[in-house]
């Protein structure tokens, strides 16, 4: 299995100010972000491609894996480190065939059945949530702390928790066995993304 540090997994939020967007990502990495996933649900392909190349410059500089959400074509075009797919995206086993064995493949799964299928079909890790109410993904299924723990216990690949995780509630996920915290607004909207990342990591590691 790939040696993945998923402890602080940043999912980006759309931004009209590219410079601020890139600076926020870099500051987050300086604070301890261990994986960056670009999520651009509404971007035109060329815009997504151009933005992904800019983010890749930063992630390569700090040797942090870059994951592309949903868009296998963009991931392959920029030679990203991996892809993350949801339950309504390309199937996990098809995605694995397209990207090969060396790339990282993450799958969103909110049930034990989905998680087990993803593991069988070649996923390297699972993203499970939403563990708290979230404004960034209205359609995300809500799961309990017990549901999260059950998913973790049902598979042999790592699980990151996602959905509404903040500095105020991250401590509630202790003892669930997760491999990391996946956050959007807690870093992307923070006044000081570096400090926010450091504090989230401290909560996770304490």
pTM: 0.96
Task: Name the residue among 100, 21, 97, 6 with its Cα closest to residue 54.
Answer: 21
Which stretches within 62-140 are classed as H helix? 72-78, 92-99, 112-120
| Matching residue, tokens 């059945």 | 113
Over residues 137-181, the pLDDT tens digits come to: 666 678 999 999 999 999 999 999 999 999 999 999 999 999 999
Over residues 104-147, the pLDDT tens digits come to: 999 999 999 999 999 999 999 999 999 998 776 666 678 999 99
Task: Name the residue among 35, 32, 19 with its Cα closest to residue 69.
Answer: 35
- 1 — pLDDT class (breaks 50, 70, 90): very low
What pLDDT sits at residue 55?
98
Q: Which H or E run includes 35?
A: strand 35-38
Active site residue 108: yes
Tokens representing residue 188 in the block: 């992307």
First to last CA, the chain: 26
Active site residue 39: yes
Catalytic residue among 7, 34, 108, 197: 108
Catalytic residue among 56, 137, 194, 197: 137
Catalytic residue among 7, 34, 39, 71: 39
Q: Which H or E run includes 129?
A: strand 125-129
Residue 145's alpha-carbon distances to 8, 108, 114, 170, 188, in angstroms, are 19, 16, 17, 12, 24
Q: How many CB atoms lie within 10 A of CB 193?
A: 23
């Amino acid at each position: 299995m790939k040696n993945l540090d998923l402890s602080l997994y940043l999912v980006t939020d759309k931004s009209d100010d590219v410079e601020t967007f890139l600076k926020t990502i870099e500051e987050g990495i300086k604070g301890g972000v261990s994986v960056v996933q670009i999520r651009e649900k509404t971007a035109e392909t060329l815009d997504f491609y151009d933005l992904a190349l800019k983010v890749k410059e930063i992630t390569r500089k700090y040797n942090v894996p870059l994951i592309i959400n949903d868009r296998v074509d963009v991931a392959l075009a920029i030679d990203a480190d991996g892809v993350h797919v949801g339950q309504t995206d390309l199937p996990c086993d098809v995605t694995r065939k397209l990207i090969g064995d060396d790339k990282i493949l993450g799958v969103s799964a909110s049930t034990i059945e989905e998680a087990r299928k993803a593991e069988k079909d070649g996923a390297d890790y699972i993203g499970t949530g939403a563990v708290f109410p979230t404004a960034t993904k209205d359609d995300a299924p809500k799961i309990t702390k017990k549901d999260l723990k059950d998913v973790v216990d049902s598979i042999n690949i790592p699980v990151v928790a996602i959905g509404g995780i903040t500095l105020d509630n991250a401590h509630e996920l202790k003892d669930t066995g997760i491999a990391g915290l996946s956050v959007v607004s807690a870093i992307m909207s923070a006044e000081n993304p570096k400090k926010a990342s450091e504090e989230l990591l401290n909560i996770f590691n304490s």
